[in-house]
Amino acid sequence: MRKTVALLAVVAIAGVLATGCENAEKKFGRGMRNMTEIGRLGEMRRSMEQSAIFNSPDTAYTTGFFRGLNRSLARTGIGVYEVVTAPFPPYSPVCTSYLAPQPVYPDNYIPNLVEDSNFATDTYMGFSGGDVIPWVPGSRFAIFDVQ
C-alpha cells in the first residue's frame, strides 16, 4: 500500500512538472473572466442591441433580454467549469460554436484601460479622463483619447 501511494505521488508530481503552467493559467483566467459575466452582463447588452438592430426595437426588451440572459448564464457556467478543470487538459476554449471565447461587448462600446494612475501618464499634469459609469451609454469622459 505504501509503495502504491509513493508511486502515485511520484507520477502526479512528474505529470505536473511535465505539463507546465501556461495553458492552465490561460484556462483559469478565461474561466474567471467568464464566471464574472453574470455581473458584467456583456452578453445581455449585446443581445439586446443586436435584437433591436436586426429585428425591431420592440424585440430588444423581450427576445433580446431572454437571449442575453441565457447566454450570460451559459457563459457563467462555462466559466465555473473552466476554473474547476483548469489543471487538466484540454486547455482550449469549450462551446465556441455557441459563445465566443473572449467576452463580448455591444458594438457601441469598446472597452479600454481604466484611467488610473497605474496606466495613465497624464495624471501628474493635474487632469485625466476615463469611464465615469462604464455601463451607462455616453458616460465616456475623454481628454487624450485619439481613437
| Pick from 133, 103, 112: nearest CA to 40 | 103
pLDDT tens per residue, range 34-85: 999 888 888 999 999 999 999 988 888 899 999 999 999 999 999 999 999 9
* Residue ranges per structural domain of the chain: 21-99, 110-147
Comparing 11-20, 34-43, 57-66, 122-131, the range with the smallest average pLDDT is 122-131
Tell the residue number behind the cell numbers 441565457, with chain if given.
70
What pLDDT does residue 41 have? 87
pTM across the whole model: 0.64
- Helix and strand totals (H; E) in the chain: 6, 2
Burial annotation 135-146 (CB, 10 A radius, 16+ → b, else e):
eeeeebeeeeee
Mean pLDDT score, 123-132:
56
pLDDT tens per residue, range 75-109: 999 999 999 998 888 888 888 888 888 888 888 77
What pLDDT does residue 138 have? 60
pLDDT at residue 144 tops 60: no
96 within 8 A of 88, measured Cβ to Cβ: no
Task: Determine the straight-line distance between the first and last CA of the chain, rounded to whole angstroms.
Answer: 66
